Chain A
Amino acid sequence: MTNMQNTRKNDPQDAQKLLELIRTDYPAFYQSVNENISKNPNAFKELSSFALGWAKEAIGADALEVIAKGYAYFVTDVNRHQIEYCIRGHYKNKSYTEVYDQIYNNDEYMNIYHWGVFATLFLWNHHLRIYDFYRDQFLPMLDNCANMIELGSGSGIWSTLTCSLCPNITTLGIDISKSSLNIAQKISKSAGVSLRASFKVGDALTFKQNALFDAGISCFLLEHLEAPKELMNNLAQCVKPGAPIFITAAITAAEVDHIYEFKNEVEVLDLLNESGFRILQVQSTSPEPDERLCFLPRSIAIIAVRKSSEHW
């Protein structure tokens, strides 16, 4: 694994400029952001430096404004859905069809939403902790891996991070969204790793290629699927026996396009176990519990390996 200092960086002032934009234009969001990053200033500084540099090349001159707006819109929707979830007792939508036209086929919404999700990676402390877990616990396992597949690569940030930190690995990201693929390609180019991080339009549930991969990841896709086990089954078929994998999922965290409701960590672990993976490490993270919400939204990150046999 290489050192962050050896890879391309952006203007360190960008993070401060983004925070100032949130403070002035979206003041209701500033306090929690400030509290979040003060709990993990090193991870925030490191990850925001990379992510904002990449986003600036992908978006253009008004990148910080786009990201601040995306964050405010995204968190507003998340908060509304989480409150409604507490009242209703279950997620609003349960099928892909219900969210397709509203979200995935709505370019204007997707553009704002995309950058909002992107910003949560470094503005939410529980996501920063997942980044720490990925960097410190998972990436060292890739030392002997030549290639890695990412199913549901979205904006490509995890593959790009991997290639930025592991100079000998190549990655292939698969995502069904062509617009996400375009962003992923811009981001990997901006990071200077486009020769090793490639992206392809495809279905994460069915994608296959003849040669198996040395490692695999899938981040925050499971909860967007009607049948998340299909994703884990396909990942198991894409990687070699013994291959390390990294999986994240949202638990009791309502968003408009979260259609599979994981009620606890064990449900996600069972899914991996049943799909042929042996669990090695688990981290469950959440924002500070808030008495105004009856469900604690949280994220789980799991490091596992593909079993060689049922008992290995």
Chain B
Amino acid sequence: MRNAFTIARRELSAYFTSPVAYVVTAGFLVIAGYFFYFILYYSQEATLRYLFNNLTTILLFVAPILSMRLLAEEQRSGTIELLLTAPVRDWEVVLGKWAAALAFWLVMLLPTLLYPFFLSRFGDPDWFPIITGYLGIILLGGVLLALGTLTSALTQNQVVAAVLGIGLTILLWLIGAAGDFAGSSLSGFFQYLALSTHFYDLTRGVVDTKNLIYYLSVIVAALFLATRVLESRRWR
């Protein structure tokens, strides 16, 4: 665990020296601000619910870009050889990488705390859905970044990692729609698989353990697979 923390620490500081991270953060905040303004202007409602729902679409693209470098770059530049020959277990490498990406996602969300502040200045927002909404978007970030970590383990090429990641996140986001074609018995299954189903509850202020367990299990599964992919490099 201490090793995972060491790796996460290094990775997080690498984010702050990477132009990609700054560009993505700037882009994200511009779009978030734009959504916040227009949603508020037209709805006249002191809520962040619609903002969170819209931000998920952006996050589907942002997360894979944030995570594309994690393992792909180490494999390309050969620094992976340092990590895999240090007395560190493979899962610690993967966990550390993902944790750093998640920490950077929290940093990106920090400026958005201004929005609830504005809402409370000029209105009377219901705080509970705002808090659960943040919980939801943080968890969703964790899930998408874990999937991105997995695709980053698969290749040495960051662009390939990002494109694969975006494909995978979009697929998991939209898979609920497959239920509509699959007939009633399977529809529930596809609904459950889809990332989106579990998100909308949280932005409404409903905390259901089913949703939390779903998100956590996707994170664990993706990181587990990423570890296996990393291990498989040793056998080739």
Query: Bound pair: A and B?
Result: no
By a beta-carbon cutoff of 8 Å, the part of chain B in contact with chain A is none
By a beta-carbon cutoff of 8 Å, the part of chain A in contact with chain B is none
